[in-house]
Amino acid sequence: MAVFAELFEHQNFGGRREQFTLSNSWRYWWIKFGSGLANEITSLRANASSGFNGNVYGFTNRDFLGNYAALNMAEGWTCWWSNVGGGLNDDIESALLINRNKLEVVMALRDQIAPDFAAEFDAQSKGQQAHRRGDPRVYAVFFPSFDPTATFVRIEQDLTVELDCWWDYDARVQFDIRLGLTGNQLNAWVSWVHTWVEGGVFSGSISNQLHPKMVAAAGTLNQKLADKLALINFGIALAGYQLGQVYLLPGRQAAFPPPSSRFGHQGSATEDCCVAISRTR
């Protein structure tokens, strides 16, 4: 085994328990808790072995979103939350176990993506009815119902749609981006575009106009991603890395080695995400 996790009903590892094992032949093991422990978990502990580091995340939403408590296990260490605290206590509904390679390149993505996305969106939407409201959010989406075997980097942007003859409408666009490796090169492309418009007299007509524009914008985003990745791939080649597999981590980057430094951390799954690229040398 590589990652072994136990999640408990009560603090200090008491009450009902569910346990899970992630073998070293898999990257993820995901759990959506049923009636047994959904919204009942207070403590958790885990260890990593068999040549891997590991992470365990417990989320307050069933879709691996919301707030989370995470454990960061270097190989051979057992780490724990004896009490996840009032903000998460009795509120965890899903969990992820993740195998971590000893040799990896890890990058937080929000600062890499959000500023360029905002600037490009503002330039493209100048003089248009729809414009940004607030900053874009960049986070990881794991195994969604519309593509249940996939993971994505999501760019989510709130919008305001101004109408000449009516009140403004709230809207939202989400670009779901796949990451992959071609040879020794990291690549990325928009796989899904989702738009939402608040209900009202004109919501249907707004959606019919907005969605095609966002789909067209995905083409521009693909080119911008290619430009950004060209620099990253140049750095990978310069370092002489041989890449193995690309995968995602929720939230901010987990620090190793525990337990002397950040055996675990808490955060929000929508505050950021990280891309991890395993390497063989």
Structure confidence at residue 24 (pLDDT) = 87
CA–CA gap between residue 161 and residue 61 (Å, rounded)? 29
- The contacts of residue 145 (CB under 8 Å, 6+ apart) are none
CA–CA gap between residue 271 and residue 267 (Å, rounded)? 8
Look up the pTM and report it. Answer: 0.94
pLDDT (tens digit per residue) in 249-275: 999 988 766 555 568 899 999 999 999
211 versus 25: the higher-pLDDT residue is: 211
Structure confidence at residue 35 (pLDDT) = 75
- What are the strands of the beta sheet with 14-22, ordered from one edge? 14-22, 3-10, 43-48, 78-81
Structure confidence at residue 258 (pLDDT) = 53
CA–CA gap between residue 269 and residue 60 (Å, rounded)? 10
CA–CA gap between residue 238 and residue 29 (Å, rounded)? 34
Per-residue DSSP letters for the chain?
Answer: --EEEEEEEEGGGEEEEEEEEE-TT-SEEEEE--TTTTTT--EEEEEE-TT-EEEEEEESSTTS-SEEEEEEE-TT-EEEES---TTTTT---EEEEEEE-SSEEEEE-HHHHHHHHHHHHHHHHTTSSEEE-S--EEEEEES-TTSTT-EEEEEEEEEEE--TTS--EEEEEEEEEEEEEETTEEEEEEEEEEEEE-SSTTHHHHHHHHHHHHHHHHHHHHHHHHHHHHHHHHHHHHHT--EEEEEEEESSPPPSSTTTS-SEEEEETTS-EEEEEEE--
165 versus 194: the higher-pLDDT residue is: 194
| Mean pLDDT in residue range 183-204 | 94
- Residue from 4, 16, 20, 29 nearest 79 by CA: 4
CA–CA gap between residue 180 and residue 199 (Å, rounded)? 37
Structure tokens at 276: 């991890």
Mean pLDDT of the chain: 92
| Mean pLDDT in residue range 160-164 | 90
pLDDT (tens digit per residue) in 231-251: 889 988 898 899 999 999 999
Structure confidence at residue 37 (pLDDT) = 87
The answer to whether residue 25 scores a pLDDT higher than 60 is: yes
Structure confidence at residue 261 (pLDDT) = 54
Structure confidence at residue 262 (pLDDT) = 60
The answer to whether residue 1 scores a pLDDT higher than 80 is: no
Residue-range domain boundaries for the chain:
1-100, 107-239
Structure confidence at residue 205 (pLDDT) = 92
Domain 1-100 = CATH 3.30.1540.20: no
pLDDT band for 176, please (50, 70, 90 cuts).
very high
pLDDT (tens digit per residue) in 139-154: 999 999 999 999 999 9
Structure tokens at 141: 């989406």
The answer to whether residue 126 scores a pLDDT higher than 90 is: no
CA–CA gap between residue 121 and residue 101 (Å, rounded)? 36
- Residue from 128, 68, 121 nearest 94 by CA: 68
Q: How many residues does the chain have?
A: 281
pLDDT band for 69, please (50, 70, 90 cuts).
very high
Structure confidence at residue 39 (pLDDT) = 92
Structure confidence at residue 86 (pLDDT) = 86
Share above pLDDT 70 across residues of the chain, in percent, rounded to a whole number: 98
Residue 274 · residue 253 · CB < 8 Å: yes
| Mean pLDDT in residue range 39-53 | 94
- Residue from 37, 51, 44, 39 nearest 2 by CA: 51
Structure confidence at residue 22 (pLDDT) = 96
